[in-house]
Homo-oligomer: A and B are copies of this chain.
C-alpha cells in the first residue's frame, strides 16, 4: 500500500535510501525449484552500476548483492528471498548543499511536504539507487522465465532516433557499446552526443525500447490488470520516466481500423503486430514491444537558482557525480521490471481454468 511492493503473486518489496546502511528487498512468491545462478544476478547489477563507462556517473559503488534466504542447494525453496546491497560509497558531504534547499524537478520539496522531513542525503529514497533492488529481483524473474527472452535497448537519445525496427536489429550487439544501442553506427553518434552534453554539465533524455519474445498466450487479466497496463505502471514507476506506449503506440492513433487491424494466420499468429503482442489486455503469443520515454535527469552540474525551506531564493551549484543521460544504465532496469510483470502474470495464469 505504501508503494514499496510490486507484483501480487511474484512480489518484490524493496527498502533503502541511497546513503543509509543498505538497500535491498524481499522477493516473495518465487516458486520452488528454480535453479538460480547468483552470478547472473550480479551480472545484471553490474549492467546498472555506476562507473561502468565514460558516459555514466563516475561514482564507485561495487553493488554486491548478498542473498540471505530462500535458496538452498542452488535452488529456490519457495520461501521469500531476502537480499541486501550494502552502501559503501556514501559521501554524505557531497549532498550537504541540498539539506536546506530544494533542487528543481527533484523530489526534495514534495518529500518535505508529504512526510514533514526527509533523509536529504543523495536523494534518500527517491534516489535511482533504489532500482538496484529491482534489478536483483528481475534477474531472478528472468531465470524463472527461462523460455522468455527479454531485450531492452536504447533507441533514442535527445533527437538522435534509431530508424530501424527491432526486427532489423541484432540484440547481441546491445552490450557491445556503452550506450546499449544495438545499431553500432547510431550508438557511436549517441555516445559522442552524450559526451558533449556531459561536458556542458547538462543532461539529455532518451527512449528505451523493450521486446519480450516467446511469451505464451494468455498472460494478463482482462479489465484493470491488462498486461500492457501493468507493464506501463512498471515502466512509469522507474525514475525519470515520462511516457509509455506499446505496439503501434501514439503513432497508431493516426491510422484507420482497416489499416491497423492485425490479420490472422491460420495458426493464430498475426500477419502484422500493431497490437504489440497484447489483445484486450492478454498476451497473444506475438512479440511484446514497447517504448519508455525518459526525461533529462534533473541534476545538472551548473549554477541554478532555487528556493530554500523558508521560500527564500538561493543560488546553488550542482555538483557530485551524475549521469548525463540515464538511458544506458536504465536498460537493465526496464528488463527487470518487464520480467517481474511477466513472472507475476505467469503465476496468475495458472489459476484461470479448472
Q: Name 23 A/B residue pairs within 8 A (Cβ), A-sorted.
A: A2-B9, A2-B225, A3-B222, A16-B82, A104-B261, A104-B263, A107-B282, A158-B254, A202-B256, A204-B255, A230-B233, A242-B248, A242-B249, A242-B250, A242-B253, A243-B246, A244-B245, A245-B245, A245-B250, A252-B293, A258-B304, A263-B304, A274-B295
- Which residue of chain B is the closest to A68 with respect to CB atoms? B22
Beyond A3-B225, A21-B66, A21-B69, is A13–B31 a contact (Cβ under 8 Å)?
Answer: no
Contact: B261 with A304, CB < 8 Å?
yes
Residues from chain B with Cβ under 8 Å of A21 in the complex: 66-69
1/0 contact trace for A292-316 toward B, CB 8 Å?
A: 0111111110101111000111000
Q: A132 to chain B: closest CB distance in Å?
A: 12
Contact: A110 with B2, CB < 8 Å?
no
* Known contacts A5-B28, A226-B237, A244-B245, then 8 further A-B pairs from the complex at CB < 8 Å, ordered by chain A residue: A33-B354, A69-B125, A84-B84, A158-B254, A247-B295, A253-B295, A257-B298, A257-B300
Q: A285 to chain B: closest CB distance in Å?
A: 8
Q: How many copies make up the complex?
A: 4
Q: A71 to chain B: closest CB distance in Å?
A: 8
Distance in angstroms between the alpha carbons of A334 and B202 in the assembled complex: 36
Contact: B125 with A77, CB < 8 Å?
yes
Residues from chain B with Cβ under 8 Å of A295 in the complex: 247-248, 252-253, 255, 260, 274
Q: Which of A34, A203, A243 has most chain B Cβ within 10 Å?
A: A243
Q: A137 to chain B: closest CB distance in Å?
A: 11
- Which residue of chain B is the closest to A313 with respect to CB atoms? B266
Q: Is A159 among interface residues, defined by CB-CB distance under 8 A? A: yes
Instruction: Kindly specify which of A49-57, A164-172, A178-186, A345-353 makes contact with the partner chain.
Output: A345-353
Q: Is A162 among interface residues, defined by CB-CB distance under 8 A? A: no
Residues from chain B with Cβ under 8 Å of A22 in the complex: 68-69, 82
Q: How large is the interface on A (under 10, 10 to 19, 20 to 34, 35 or more residues)?
A: 35 or more
Q: Which of A1, A113, A268 has most chain B Cβ within 10 Å?
A: A1
Distance in angstroms between the alpha carbons of A353 and B229 in the assembled complex: 27
Chain A 240-290 interface residues, beta-carbon cutoff 8 Å to B: 242-250, 252-268, 270, 274-276, 279-284
Contact: B246 with A242, CB < 8 Å?
yes
- Which residue of chain B is the closest to A85 with respect to CB atoms? B68
Distance in angstroms between the alpha carbons of A3 and B11 in the assembled complex: 11
Residues from chain B with Cβ under 8 Å of A233 in the complex: 224, 229-230, 232-233, 236
Contact: B82 with A118, CB < 8 Å?
no
Contact: A237 with B224, CB < 8 Å?
yes
Contact: A218 with B69, CB < 8 Å?
no
Task: Give the 9 A-B residue pairs with the shortest CB-CB distance, closest first.
Answer: A3-B221, A107-B280, A15-B82, A243-B245, A205-B253, A3-B225, A203-B257, A233-B233, A229-B236
Beyond A22-B82, A243-B249, is A279–B106 a contact (Cβ under 8 Å)?
Answer: yes
Residues from chain B with Cβ under 8 Å of A239 in the complex: 280
Q: Is A126 among interface residues, defined by CB-CB distance under 8 A? A: yes
